């Protein structure tokens, strides 16, 4: 039997891979397509005598966790149903007798996955230019922004889009609490209440984005509060939710940069 020539301990050892406890990294659509192609090529190679499973399975499993996590982040179905290449071996041994059948099956799965990515790209995705920022005082807010990106990626109807608006508004409120610093209150002026995030935001802009040359920046950033409010309660579409989510990320990261540059 074919199984007699297989070192099953390789499959068992894969269960103890230390990388199983690591959070897969987020990657953009270009890198995701490249990873998809690389994983498909490895599957084909293993199924057509080009690679030995024990030589490539550990790497393939790690890359598959990254691939699947990023597909799910976009609200998409992961492309390949096997957690490891031994699972693929078991499948093609029972169902795909020839090399041509195996190549065709993997090609079909890959083409379906590429079509999903094209739809996600056409729909648009929220981009956070500081997703990996680990400044301690911004840590919790960074986590909320990551949740916002995922919320938008999975939203498919008005209820989902309004949830994006609610999350955007909550992030802005949390951001207002984060920047509530008595040092930015002008002398002789009473400090806003702690919960008045918008008032603190206005003081922040007056401190860090003052002057006529920053008037358009101040207006743009203030308008985001109104947009998040509209998306939370209004009769909105996907584009409104996208704008609210992306604008929220823009406001937080721009304010963060203003503060850093000033310091």
pLDDT in tens, 113-122: 998 888 777 6
Q: Which residue has the higher pLDDT, 41 or 177?
A: 41
Closest CA to 48 of 132, 117, 104: 104
pLDDT of residue 93 exceeding 50, the answer is yes
Count, residues in the chain: 263
Q: Residue range 49-55: average pLDDT?
A: 90
Q: What pLDDT, on the 0 to 100 scale, is given for residue 8?
A: 46
| Paired tokens of 164 | 């994006």
**Which of the 8 DSSP states describes residue 195?**
T
Cα separation, 238 vs 257, in Å, equals 29
- Winning range, highest mean pLDDT, from 3-12, 57-66, 141-150, 166-175: 57-66
Stretch 249-255: mean pLDDT? 89
Half-sphere exposure in the Cβ direction for 3 (13 Å, CA): 7
Does the pLDDT of residue 256 top 70, yes or no? yes
Q: In the chain, how many H helices and how many E strands?
A: 10, 0
pTM (two decimals): 0.52
Predicted local distance difference test score (pLDDT) of residue 260: 85
Alpha-carbon gap, residue 121 to 140, rounded angstroms: 28
Computed over every residue of the chain, the mean pLDDT equals 82
**Is 157 a residue whose pLDDT tops 70?**
yes
- pLDDT at residue 165, rounded to an integer: 87
């Amino acid at each position: 039997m074919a199984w007699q020539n297989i070192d099953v301990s390789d499959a068992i050892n894969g269960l103890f891979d230390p990388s199983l406890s690591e959070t897969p990294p987020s990657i953009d659509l270009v890198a995701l397509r490249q990873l998809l192609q690389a994983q498909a090529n490895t599957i084909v190679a293993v199924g057509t005598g080009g690679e030995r499973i024990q030589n490539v399975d550990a790497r393939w499993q790690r890359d598959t966790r990254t691939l699947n996590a990023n597909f799910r982040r976009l609200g998409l179905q992961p492309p390949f149903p096997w957690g490891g290449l031994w699972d693929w071996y078991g499948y093609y041994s029972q169902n795909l007798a020839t090399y041509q059948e195996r190549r065709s099956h993997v090609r079909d799965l890959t083409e379906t996955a590429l079509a999903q990515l094209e739809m996600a790209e056409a729909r648009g995705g929220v981009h956070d230019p500081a997703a990996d920022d680990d400044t301690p005082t911004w840590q919790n807010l960074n986590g909320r922004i990551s949740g916002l990106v995922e919320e938008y990626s999975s939203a498919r109807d008005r209820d989902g889009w309004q949830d994006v608006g609610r999350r955007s508004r909550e992030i802005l409120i949390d951001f207002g609490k984060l920047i509530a610093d008595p040092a930015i209150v002008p002398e002789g002026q009473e400090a806003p209440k702690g919960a008045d995030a918008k008032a603190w935001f206005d003081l922040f802009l007056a401190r860090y984005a003052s002057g006529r040359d920053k008037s358009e920046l101040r207006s743009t950033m203030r308008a985001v509060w109104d947009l998040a409010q509209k998306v939370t309660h209004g009769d909105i579409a996907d584009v409104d939710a996208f704008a609210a989510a992306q604008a929220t990320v823009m406001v937080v990261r721009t304010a963060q940069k203003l503060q850093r540059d000033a310091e």
